[in-house]
Structure 1
Amino acid sequence: MSQDLGTPVTSAPPRGAAPPARTPKKKTKTGLSALAAKRIAVLSALVAGVAYGWGIGGNAAHYAYAAAVRSMSANWHNFLYGAYDPAGFMSVDKAPGALWLQALSVRVFGYETWALLLPGVIAGAVSVYVLFVLVRRWAGHAPAALAAVLLAATPITIAGTRVNLPDSTLILTLLVATYAFWRALEKASPRWLLLTAALVGVGFHIKLAMALAILPVLGIVYLVAAPASPGRRVLHLLGAGAVTAAVSSIWMLIVGLTPAGSRPYMDGSTSNSVWQMVWSYNLFDRADAAKAGKSAELPVLPDGKVTPVDQGGDTGVFRLFNDLIGGQISWLLPLAVLLVVVGLVAAGRAPRTDKARAGWLLWGGWLVLFAGALSFSQSIHPYYTSILAPAIAAIAAAGLHLAWTDRRFAWALPVGLLATGAWAFVLMSRSSDYVPWLRPVVAIAAVAAAVLVLVRRTGKFAVVTGAVAGVALLAGPVAWAAPTFQTPTDPRTAMFQNFNPLAGPNPNALSTGIDLTKLMAGGPKPGAAGGQAMPLPPPIMFQMMPSDADPKLLGFLKANKRGERFDLATVGGTGASPYIRAGLSVMPMGGFVGTMPMPTADGLADAVHSGQLRYVLFGGFAYDSPTALARKDWVVRNCVRIPPPAYTANPWMGFTSALFDCKPGA
C-alpha cells in the first residue's frame, strides 16, 4: 500500500512497519478533505490551461522560435540539429528540446500558431497539478491546493506560457524531476534518484544550464536528509551526477560527432562548435558583464541612444522588485522569504531525516538559487522569472498553513498579510491609472485579514477570514494577469509581446525601458524636405524588427526565383524570421544576432557564384561585427541595389533596408 499522500511526511517509517491506511475523507486542521483539495487542484490546472490557451490562435508566436519550428518540421535532419532555416544552413542558438515538441505538434496539426503554442500550454497546466502532488507529499492537502492556485495565478507564468517559449516545458520537467527526487529522499532510493538525474538531463536539452542550476539544491538536501549512511548518500549522488552528465551530453555528442559539412552551422559559436555555443555563448558570456553584448557594436534606436543589452533592469538584490519585473513575479516574494525562515525555525532540532525541514530546504533552495542567478545575470528577459513561481507558491502555501495551524507561529499570518498587502499597493501604484479602485480594496483586505486571522481563525467564520485573505493575496496578481488574455490589436505591441511577453496594464513598455507609444510620436519622413514630421508613423524600431514579411517583396522574390537554394539572404534572426515563416528559404547571415562569422564574405561570394543565392537584404535589428561589416562591404561593391519601389510599397522599409541583386540579368 502507498503512503497517505495527504499527510505531510516527517520521517522515514521503520523498516517493516505497515504504512498508515489511506483515508481520503480525513480532515486537516483547516477542514479541507483530501477529495476537496484534489478537486481544487484539478480545477486550478483546468483554469490555468484555459488562461494559457485562451485565443492562442490569434496570438503572435515568438518570431525566432516560430521560424525555427517551421524549418525543423520540414524534415528530420533539420529536426535533429535544430535548424533555424529550411536549408539547414544555421542552427538555433540554443538547445532545441522545447522546439522538438513544437515541431512534432506542427507535423501533426499543421503550421498554425495554436499548434506552436499547444505543447507549452499543456506543460503549464500539468505543472499546476504536479506542484499540487509535490506539496501534498510534503505538507498536506490544504497547502497543496493553495499552492496550485497560487501558481496558476502568477502573472508572468500566464504571459509567458501564452507564447511558444521553452520555459513552461522546463518548469514541468524540473517539477517532475523534483517529484522523483522527493520519492528518492523518502527512502534513499537510488532508482528514484537516477530518474531525477535523467530528467534534469532532459531539462538541459530544453534550456541548457538553467536546468542544471537545480542540482546543487538537490544534492545538499539529499546529503542532509536522506535516510542512509554518509557513504551511501555520497555514492548515490555520484551515480546521479554521472547520469545527468550522460543524458545532458546526448545532443551535444551527436552534433559534435557529425561532420561540419553534414549539419547546420552552430549559431552562437565563432568556430562552429556546439560546446562553445552551449557553455560560452549561453552561460559564461551571460554571466560576464564584460562580455554580455559587448562583442559587437550595438544597434542605435531612433532617439540616438544605444540599445540596452540587459532587458531586466540593473543587476542586484533588488532587481526582482524593480518597475519592470516586480509586477511580473514578486507579489508574494516578500511573503515567501518570511515564511521559509519561519518554516526552518519550526523544524528546529528535528531529526536529520525530518522531511518537513527537507521540504523547506528544497523549496527555499530553489527560490534562493534561481533568484540569485536572475538577480545578477547580465542579460535576462522578465519571463525568465517564471522559474521562481513554483517555489514561491509552495513556500507561501505551506508557510501560511503552518502559521494557521501552529499557534507558535500565528504572528506570521498578520505580518505576512500586511507585508503582502503593502507590497501589492506599491506595485499597483506604479500603474496608478489601471483599476485604481483595486489598490484601496487590497489594502483594506490585507488589514482586515490581519485582524481576522488573530481573532477569527476557527469555526465557520474561518471561511470568511480565508476569503478576505485571498483577496489580499490574489487580487493584484490576477488583475495584472488579466491583460494577457487580450490579443494585441496594435502590430507593434503584438510584435514585442511575442518575444518579450509581459503581464500588466502596459505591455507596450519594453524591457529596455522604452514605451512604444512614445516611439510613435513622429519621426522624419523619408524624402521629406527639412525632415517633415509624419503624424504617427510606424517607428524605425518597428521596421528594424518586422513582424510580417513584406507582401510585395515576397511576390518579387517568388517571381524572380531561378532554382537557387536560397530565395534570400538577410541579416540576423529578426530579418530572416518573417520570410522563413512565410515559406521562403532564407540564409540568416550571422545567425540570430548577426555577428557570427557564417558566412564569411568569401563564403557569401561562393554562394552567389555557385548559383545558390541571388538576392541579399540588409536591414533588421542586428548587431555589427568585423565579419558582418565585411559581408556588407562585399555586397555593396559587387551587387546592384534595387530601387525600393520595385520590392516594397512601404516607404519606411525602403528607408531602413536595402535589397541587392548579386546576379543582375540572370
Structure 2
Amino acid sequence: MSQDLGTPVTSAPPRAAVPTARTPKKKTKTGLSALAAKRIAVLSALVAGVAYGWGIGGNAAHYAYAAAVRSMAANWHNFLYGAYDPAGFMSVDKAPGALWLQALSVRVFGYETWALLLPGVIAGAVSVYVLFVLVRRWAGHAPAALAAVLLAATPITIAGTRVNLPDSTLILTLLVATYAFWRALEKASPRWLLLTAALVGLGFHIKLAMALAILPVLGIVYLVAAPASPGRRVLHLLGAGAVTAAVSSIWMLIVGLTPAGSRPYMDGSTSNSVWQMVWSYNLFDRTDAAKAGNSAELPVLPDGKVTPVDQGGDTGVFRLFNDLIGGQISWLLPLAVLLLVVGLVAAGRAPRTDKARAGWLLWGGWLVLFAGALSFSQSIHPYYTSILAPAIAAIAGAGLHLAWTDRRFTWALPVGLLATGAWAFVLMNRSSDYVPWLRPVVAIAAVAAAVLVLVRRTGKFAVVTGAVAGVALLAGPVAWAAPAFHPPTDPRTAMFQNFNPLAGPNPNALSTGIDLTKLMAGGPKPGAAGGQAMPLPPPIMFQMMPSDADPKLLAFLKANKRGERFDVATVGGTGASPYIRAGLSVMPMGGFVGTMPMPTADGLADAVHSGQLRYVLFGGFAYDSPTALARKDWVVRNCVRIPPPAYTANPWMGFTSALFDCKPGA
C-alpha cells in the first residue's frame, strides 16, 4: 500500500486520499499544506544553491585539490589512481571519490574555478531537498520544510560548500543512503538495506572512514525498529555489512593489485601502500601525530607523519562551542539537544517498531556519534563539523513542530528559544565589532518569541509568532554566513581561507590563533629603509610561498626546459600546487606534507642523472623528516643555487624560496 508522506509513520496507514477538486488538500496541525511545504523545500534548495554558487568563478579553490583535479583530468590513468601531479609521480593523500566528480566537470567545462566547485554546489543544494524528503517521510510536511530551511542557513555549510572540498558530496551520499535505510526500515526490506550499504561504501571513496562512522547508528536502529524477527534482522545486517566492505574496497583493491611501477606512489604511506594511506595515515596516525599540538616551529617528524597542527582547538565536550568552531555549527546545537530529549520522551513506551521513535534514534545517533568523534579527535578542520548540520536541522525541525502541536511539550518552545537566543548572543559577542546591532535584535526576538509561543500560537498570530521565532533562530547564522560571499583579496590569505574555510567576520584568522592580515602586514619586507628587514614572521611562515605561481619563475622554467619529465621538483602541497595549476609538470617531493620518503635522496639523484629533472625548488609549507633532510642535503651539495633575481621579482618569494640547478650548463 502507498503511504502518505506528510504524516509521521507509526503503523501501516490506509491509502491516502488523492486531492481532487472536491477533496481539500490535507494539512498538518500547523495549517501548512503538503504543496506549500514542498515549495518551501524547493525554494530553500534553490536559495542554498545560489548561496553556495554565487560568484564562485572569483573564488580561489582549495590549492591542493585544484592541482590534483587538473592532473586527474589530464588522462584516465591519472584519473583512476588519483594522481596529484601531471606525470603521475605521486597520488593524493586521500581517496579520490569527490575529486573524480570535479575532474569530470573539468573535462566537460574546462579548467575553471567554477567548474571545480560545481559538483559540490550541486551536491549541497540537492542535500537540502533530500533532507526534506527524509524528514517528511518520518515526521511530516511542516517539520520537513523547517529542516530544509535550517540546513540551508548553516554557516559552515555555506562557507565550506563554496570551496571544492569533499564534504558536501559526502553529506549528500550519506543522506541518500539514509533515505534508502529508512525505506528498508519501514518494511524490513533487504533490497533497500543493501542499497544503503552500497551507498555508504561509495561514501568511503569520498572521505574514507568518516563515511563508515554512520554504520553503528544504522545498525542499532535497524536492530531496534525493523519489523522482522531477530534472526532476519541480524541476517540482513550481515549481508549489508558484506556489501559495504566489498564496495568500500574496490578502489583499494585496484590500486593494491596494480604493480607499483605502473601507478603513482601512494602519498600518506612510507611503503607505497594504499592500505597504509587509508587506515594508518588517514585514521590512526593522525591522532598520534596531532598530540604534539599547535607549534610555531617546524619540528623534524618521522617519515610519513602528518602535520601536528590542531585546527580545531582543545579536545573535549565543549570543543564544538569554542571560539573556533562555535560560530560555524553550534547556533542551534543546544536547541537540538533539548528537542532530542523531548522527542525521545514523547515516543515513550511505543511499540518496538514505532517509526517516530526510530527517527529520533536515527537522527539523534547521527548527531551524537559525529559530535563525539569531532569533539575528541585530536586534529580537525572546523569545516568537518558540516556533517552535523543535517542532524541538527532534522531534530530541530521535528522537535519544534512536536512542541508546537503537542501541549505536553509546549514548555520546550520558550525554553529552547531563550536558550538559543542566549547562545547566539554569546557567539555574536565574541566578534563584538561585527554587526553589533544584531545582538540586541536577536535577544529581543528570542524573548518576544518565547512569550508569543505561549499566548499567540494559533490563528492569525501564528504567522507573526513564527516570524519572530525565525529571527531568533536564523538571524545569527545568516549573518555569520554572509562574509563567505566576500573572499579575501590577498592571495596568501585566500589560500588559507580555502584550505581551511571559516564562516564569520574574521575568516583570515588561522585556527592556530594567527591572524594572517596582521601577520602579512608585519611580515618580512626585504629592502626596507636602511637595508634592515622588518621583524620576521614565526618560523611556521618561513616556508610559505605565494599561492599563485610566480610568473617570472614560470617563464624561467619553461625557457630552460630541455625535454625533462619534470619542469621542477619542489616540496609539499603549497610548493607544488601553484605550478601544477599553472600547467607545469612538478615532482611533489615528500607528498602533501613533505615528509613521505619519496623520492629518497638516491631517487632524486637518479632522476637528475637520467635526465628526468634539472631544477629543484625549496619553499612552501612543509615539515622536515629524515628523508626530507637527506634530499635537501643532496641538493645543497650537488646543485648550484640560482640568485633570486634571476627567477623572481617578488621579494617575498625571494626571501622564502631557493631554486637550485642540478645540471648547470646543460
Query: What is the 5 A alignment of 1:104-119?
Result: 104-119=104-119
User: Do 1:300 and 1:306's aligned partners in 2 also have CA atoms closer than 8 Å?
Assistant: no
- Shift in Å at residue 249 of structure 1? 0.1
Larger mean CA deviation between 11-20 and 169-178 belongs to: 11-20
C-alpha contact 1:576 1:588 (8 A) present in aligned 2 = yes
What is the Cα deviation at residue 5 of structure 1? Answer: 0.8
* Whole-Å separation in 2 of the counterparts to 1:593 and 1:337: 38
Kept in 1: contact 2:265–2:272 (CA 8 A): yes
Whether the 8 Å contact between 2:49 and 2:125 is mirrored in structure 1 is yes
SS at match of 1:272: coil
Alpha-carbon distance change, 306 to 90 in structure 1, aligned in 2, over 3 angstroms = closer
What is the SS of the residue equivalent to 1:641? strand
CA contact (8 A) 2:295 2:309 kept: no
1:604-643 Cα deviation digits (max 9, x unpaired) = 0000000000000011100000000000000000001111
Using the TM superposition, give the Cα deviation of residue 534 of structure 1 relative to its aligned residue in structure 2, in angstroms: 4.8
More moved, 529-538 vs 568-577: 529-538
| Residues 131-177 of structure 1, C-alpha deviations (whole Å, 9 max, x = no match) | 00000000000010000000000000000000000000000000000
Name the count of aligned residue pairs: 666
Q: Secondary structure of the residue that 1:566 maps to in structure 2?
A: coil
Asked if residue 613 in structure 1 is aligned to residue 613 in structure 2, the reply is: yes
Q: CA deviation at 1:440?
A: 0.2
Q: Is the alpha carbon distance of 1:39 and 1:661 closer, same or farther for their aligned partners in structure 2, counting shifts above 3 Å? A: same
CA deviation digits over 1:536-588, x for unaligned, max 9?
99998396142100100000000000000000000011100000000000000
Q: Determine the C-alpha separation between the residues in 1 that align with 2:295 and 2:443.
A: 47
Q: Distance in 2 between matches of 1:364 and 1:531?
A: 62
Supply the distance in 2 between the matched residues of 1:539 and 1:296 (Cα, whole angstroms): 6
- Asked if structure 1 preserves the Cα contact closer than 8 Å seen for 2:193 and 2:236, the reply is yes
Contact 1:572 1:588 in 2 (8 A): yes
The structure-2 alpha-carbon separation of the partners of 1:190 and 1:540, relative to structure 1 and needing over 3 Å to count, comes to closer
State how far apart, in whole Å, the 2-side matches of 1:21 and 1:321 are: 52
CA contact (8 A) 2:491 2:548 kept: no
Distance (whole Å) between structure 2 residues aligned to residue 513 and residue 24 of structure 1: 58
- The answer on 1:422 being equivalent to 2:428 is no
Q: Distance in 2 between matches of 1:478 and 1:295?
A: 33
Q: Determine if contact 2:300/2:626 at 8 Å carries over to the other structure.
A: no
Deviations 1:159-197 (A, max 9, x none): 000000000000000000000000000000000000000
Following TM superposition, by how much is the alpha carbon of 1:511 offset from its aligned partner in structure 2, in angstroms?
1.3
User: 1:493 Cα deviation (Å)?
Assistant: 2.6
How far apart, in 1, do the equivalents of 2:199 and 2:164 lie? 21
Shift of 1:654: 1.4
- Asked whether the equivalents of residues 298 and 539 of structure 2 are also in contact (C-alpha less than 8 Å), the reply is no
Q: Deviation at 1:529?
A: 8.5
The answer on 1:152 being equivalent to 2:156 is: no
Q: Distance in 2 between matches of 1:70 and 1:544?
A: 22
Distance 1:507 1:15, change over 3 A: closer
Whether the 8 Å CA contact 1:297–1:624 is kept in 2: the answer is no
Shift of 1:522: 2.2
Tell me if structure 2 keeps the 8 A contact 1:521–1:536: no
State whether residues 522 and 539 of structure 1, in contact with CA within 8 Å, keep that contact through their aligned partners in structure 2. no
- Say whether the 8 Å CA contact 2:483–2:503 is kept in structure 1: yes
Give me the whole-angstrom Cα distance separating, in 1, the residues matched to 2:501 and 2:216: 30
Counterpart-to-counterpart distance in 2, 1:271 and 1:300: 19
Whole-angstrom distance in 1 between the partners of 2:542 and 2:127: 35
Residues 348-378 of structure 1: per-residue CA shift (max 9 Å, x gap): 0000000000000000000000000001111
Residue 376 and residue 531 in structure 1: after superposition, are their counterparts in 2 closer, same or farther (change >3 A)?
Answer: farther
**Rounded Cα–Cα distance in structure 2 between residues aligned with 1:432 and 1:64:** 34
Q: 1:485 Cα shift?
A: 1.1
Maintained 8 Å contact 2:414/2:449: yes
**Structure 1 residues 306 and 355, CA, compared in 2 at 3 Å: closer, same or farther?**
closer
| Equivalent pair of 2:296/2:540 in contact (CA under 8 Å) | no
What SS does the corresponding residue of 2:180 show, helix, strand or coil?
helix
Equivalent residues in 2 for 1:603-642, closer than 5 Å? 603-642=603-642
1:18/1:462 Cα in 2 relative to 1: closer, same or farther (>3 Å)?
A: closer
User: Is contact 2:526-2:534 (8 Å) kept?
Assistant: no
User: Is the CA contact 2:197–2:240 (under 8 Å) kept in the aligned structure 1?
Assistant: yes
Shift of 1:453: 0.4
The 1:287–1:536 alpha-carbon spacing in structure 2 relative to 1, beyond 3 Å, is closer
1:494 positional shift? 1.4
Q: Describe the superposition over 1:318-377 as per-residue Cα deviations: whole angstroms up to 9, x where unpaired.
A: 000000100000000000000001100000000000000000000000000000000111
Q: What displacement does 1:25 show?
A: 1.6
Matched position secondary structure for 1:73: helix
Structure 1, residues 371-411: CA drift from partner, whole Å, max 9, x if none? 00001111110000000000000000100000000000000
CA-to-partner distance for each residue in 1:184-211, whole Å, 9 max, x for gaps?
A: 0000000000000000000000000000
TM-score, normalising length: structure 1: 0.96
Q: Does 1:102 align with 2:99?
A: no
The answer on whether the counterparts of 1:492 and 1:542 sit within 8 Å (CA) in structure 2 is no
Structure 1 residue 98, shift from structure 2 partner: 0.1
Distance 2:416 2:536 in 1: 47
From the superposition, tell whether residues 545 and 367 of structure 1 become closer, same or farther in structure 2 (CA, over 3 Å). farther
Give the C-alpha shift of residue 295 in structure 1: 13
Q: Quote the sequence identity (%).
A: 98
Q: CA 1:304–1:174 in structure 2 vs 1: closer, same or farther (change >3 Å)? A: closer
Q: CA deviation at 1:287?
A: 3.0
Distance 1:440 1:291, change over 3 A: closer
Extract unaligned runs of 5+ from structure 1: none
Instruction: Give the aligned CA root-mean-square deviation in angstroms.
Output: 3.2
What is the CA deviation profile of residues 256-291 of structure 1, one whole-angstrom value per residue up to 9, with x for unaligned ones? Answer: 000000000000000000000000000111233676
Distance in 1 (CA, whole Å) between partners of 2:600 and 2:462 is 70
Does the CA-based 8 Å contact 2:160-2:501 persist in structure 1?
yes
Question: For 1:433 and 1:636, how far apart are their aligned partners in 2?
Answer: 50
Deviation at 1:300, TM superposition (A): 11
Distance 1:190 1:132 in 2: 24
> How far is 1:496 from its partner?
1.2
Q: Does the CA contact (< 8 Å) of 2:294 and 2:308 recur in 1?
A: no
Contact kept, 8 Å, 1:299 with 1:307, in 2: the verdict is no
* Structure 1 residue 517, shift from structure 2 partner: 2.4
Cα distance in 2, alignment partners of residues 278 and 490 from structure 1 = 34
